[in-house]
Structure formats: C-alpha cells, structure tokens
Chain A
Amino acid sequence: MSGESEPSEPVVHGALMGGFAQACVNLNIVAGRRATALLADIDMGRWFPLSKWMEIERMVGESYANVEPIRLKLGIEMMRLWYHGGPGKALIHRGADFLHFQTGSHGIASVIRGPREVVGSFDLAEFDSDRGHAVIRSSTPFDKTIERGVLIGGVMAPGDLYYVDVTNDGDPNRLVVEFH
C-alpha cells in the first residue's frame, strides 16, 4: 500500500492485527484450532480491513460475561509484545516516550489508515512530567478499555516507572494518564 493517498476503506496494519491476535492467543481468549486459524490468517506485512479488527473485538466481547478486565489486560499484553517482541524497544526508551510518540497521532497513523472521520485520532493533548500527568484525546473506532490497556502497557513496558494508571471517567474519549 502506498503512503501517498488514504484508502477509501479504513485499514489496519498487519503488525497491529498480529499483536492483537497474538495477545488473544497468549491470554487464551482463543485456543486450539481457532487460535491457529486466527494467527495463520494474519500477514504482518499486509493491511487488513478495519472490519477484521472489529470482528476480533466482537469475538472477545461475545466470549465473556465479564469482559472489561479482559480487554484491559489484552491492551497491556499487546504492548508488552510490541515492546519486548516487536519494534517498541527501538522506538521508545522511557515510559514517557510512549506518550510523546502519540503526539499529532503519530503512533496511530502508522497502524491505521483511511477516512479521517472513521479512523479518528489518538493524540497527546496534555503532558506534565512533574505532576506525572498526561491526557490523550482519542476518537479512534477501537474499544476504549483496550486503548486504556494499550496506554498502560506502552508506558509501563520500558520499566522505568513505578506507577501507571489510565482512567477515562466521564468522557471515554479523554484518557487521563497518571505516571510516576
């Protein structure tokens, strides 16, 4: 896929899809033949329709009665894989770097493409190192609990911070990060 023009249909990069699928397998959300089929289906170098991501999200939602803690863990596990088994370690060195990586939706733009009104943004809106406070404004189509997990996992992954939490009380699109 060329980088010059946006595709008319939203697409998600295979690396992100692969990380998501692998996290599902690692947490035994899918297992056995379904796990093999899910992973075999994903080529890390390709772009996939956003609908495929949504299909997996739906599958996770339908698999569990109490799904929110699972979604949170899924996001954390994805970022653990991204940092320790993927390109993350080369891109960020401190927890705060992961937050800066989101400036101008830089992070999200590398893994999802398509009409802006559909793919939305995932942008660092506030950052205060002294207070250990940051705000991410998110308007992506992804599940917000998984996104909270992604932020927690991404900020914790380098291992330089003792405390990380992400809340979105009141406004699901405003992800408040506390880090120390």
Chain B
Amino acid sequence: MTLDEILEGRDPDRLSELSREDMRRLFWMYKGLLKRVERDTAYWQATNDNLRTAYERLDEQERELARAYQTIRQDLEIAQQVQHALLPKDHPEMLARFEFSVYHKQMTEVGGDYYDFYRLRDGSHAIGVFDISGHGVSAALIMAYLKAQLVQTMEQVSRPRDIVEYLNNATVGFLREVRRYATVNFVAFGERTFRYVCGGGYGVLVRGGEVHTFNKGDPFIGLRRRAYSEYELPFETGDVLALYTDGMVEAQDSAGADYSTRRLHELVRTNSELPANQILQRCLDDYGQFRRVDADDITLIVLRRRAA
C-alpha cells in the first residue's frame, strides 16, 4: 500500500504498511498543512482585526460627519435668517399707493430669487425682481452682493435703465469670475405709468381686460457690458401688474408639460377684478394642482394701483 493509495481513501487502516519514504512524505505533508493553516489563521485574524479597526474608524468618521452636518445645518439656518432679513418687510409707503401681495419660496434653506422695494432719488417707488443662477448658499451670497451694489447704484442714478446699466457694469467682472448671472426685472412707478427694464425676467400688465407682456429681451446681469432698453406702460387705478421669476412657469406636470406664462397670464387676466391677494391665491391654487413638484425658487408679486 502506498501513501497515494491511502490518501485516495482506499484503506486508512493500513498506514503501518507504508514505506519509510512514504511515512516521511506524510510527516512533511502534515507539517506543511499545519504551517499553511497557521499562516492562514494569522492572515485571517489580522484581516479580522483590521476590519474591526476599519469599523471603529468608520464610526469615528460618521460621528465627525454628523458634527460637520450639524454645523452646516446651523450655518444654513443663520443664512436663511440673514436672507429673510434682506427681503423687504414693512413697506407702508408702498402700501399707501399700491395694494399688493407677494409669494416667495426658496427650494432650499437659502435660494437665488430676490425681490425688493425701493424709493428712488426722485421720490418714485420701484420694485426689483432678480433670479440668480444656481441655488443654495452661493446664490444667496450673490443676492446679498447684488443688494449691496443696488443700494450704492441708487445713490448715483434714478432712471430704471441707468440703474440696471450701472448695476451691470459694477458687477459684471465679479459675476463672470464666479460664473454667475442674474435675471433682472426693474420697475419704477410714475403717477399714471411705470417704466421697466427687463433682462430675462417676467412681467405682465392687465389693463382693461387686455394682457401686456413685458419685453424681456435685454441681457441678464453679469454676462457682458451692454446698454439696456427702458419701456413705459400706463398703470392706472384698477390695473393689475404681476412680476415673477421662472420657477412657477417652468414647473411641469406629471406629463412633462410646462405650467407656462400663457396659463399664468390668463389666470391673472380672468381674476383681475379681485383684490391682489386673491389673484395671487388663485394663481397659487391653480399652480399647486398643476405641478408635480417644485423645481426652482418661486417669486410672484401681484400689484394694483390704489385709487388716488
């Protein structure tokens, strides 16, 4: 009987018949096997130890991540408060002349839509609506930057075209550097009219049952230095003006259709006899039923001139 025959399982009881050479082979086979098991056991033990260490590191990193996330959350909450503080709150002078209602919703804690009410150097009231490219903290910071620049701008000039042009010239270098831009819709009110400059913004006037859409062909703020155009429209008691950003009209329903400017304008037109806040609510109700999900920041301002 040879070792190979025994190992093939023919007759293990006949080990004593093995030759000296086969016994020697068997001895080293057994020792070799033990040595391999010893090395493999050490390897797997080390792998197991290392796995435990890796889990411990992972736990620690998870805790660090949670701490960092908490810090970010707190910072975002503060950013949100700061951004709210930058939006207009009390505007009794505007309310004395206009009946208006505002809906402003950011997609995230802080966003890129910005609107404000101004009193120009010539005493007239004005509204600015901006939509800064992107979302989140960076867009909010650009918003704060634009607000600061606007304040300085309005100390220098008072015509809407001059204001927007001055603002663009003052900010284009920086905005190009950070690869951001903003749509602009700036409206200054006269006694029976308003003048506007519109670069990528949205505006609609309903007057005598007719819809007048803003000419929005001027460039966005921050793309290039260029002259802006200014337009004038009549705006008398009872006329309704709606200013908004693209968040609402570009939202889609479950079939992928846009809410559309046409639908919004028609809604403003058919409800133009209602108070401003009810017009706005009708728009929001209709939009809420239509859209599948909000995809962008939304700003909608509805405004009507009060009787003198």
Contacts and interface: CB of A to CB of B under 8 A. Distances in A.
A69 B31 contact: no
Contacts of B45: 66, 69
Interface string B19-50: 00000010011011001000100110111011
Contact of A69 (B25, B28, B35, B46): B46
B108 interface: no
Interface in A57-73: 63-70, 72-73
A152 B43 CA distance: 15
B28 A162 contact: yes
Interface string A65-108: 11111101100100000000000000000000000000000000
A134 B45 CA distance: 29
Contacts, number: 47
A41 to B, nearest CB: 24
A70 B43 contact: yes
A73 B31 CA distance: 19
A162 B32 CA distance: 5
A165 interface: yes
A165 to B, nearest CB: 6
Contacts of B28: 162-163, 180
Given A163-B31, A163-B32, A180-B32, A73 B50 contact: no
B50 A164 contact: no
B53 A65 contact: yes
A127 B14 CA distance: 36
B35 A163 contact: yes
Contacts of A65: 49-50, 53
A63 B28 CA distance: 35
A66 B29 contact: no
Contacts of A152: 39
A73 B32 contact: no
Contact of B46 (A68, A161, A162): A68
A69 B43 contact: yes
A165 B31 CA distance: 10
A66 B41 CA distance: 13
B39 A73 contact: yes
A162 B25 contact: yes
Contacts of A64: 46, 50, 53
Contacts of B50: 63-66, 70
9 contacts: A64-B46, A70-B50, A152-B39, A161-B32, A163-B28, A163-B31, A164-B32, A164-B35, A180-B31
A66 B46 contact: yes
Contacts of A161: 32
A33 to B, nearest CB: 17
A136 to B, nearest CB: 18
Nearest to B39: A72
B46 A70 contact: yes
Contact of B35 (A67, A68, A165): A165
Interface string A140-180: 00000000000010000000011111000000000000001
Given A73-B39, A161-B32, A164-B35, 12 more contacts: A63-B50, A65-B53, A66-B49, A69-B42, A69-B45, A70-B47, A73-B43, A76-B39, A152-B39, A162-B32, A163-B31, A163-B32
Contacts of A63: 50
A89 B33 CA distance: 23
8 closest residue pairs by CB, A with B: A163-B32, A69-B42, A69-B46, A162-B28, A180-B28, A162-B32, A66-B46, A66-B49
Nearest to B25: A162
Contacts of B47: 70
Contacts of B35: 163-165
A70 B25 CA distance: 29
Contacts of A72: 39, 42-43
Contacts of B43: 69-70, 72-73
Contacts of A76: 39
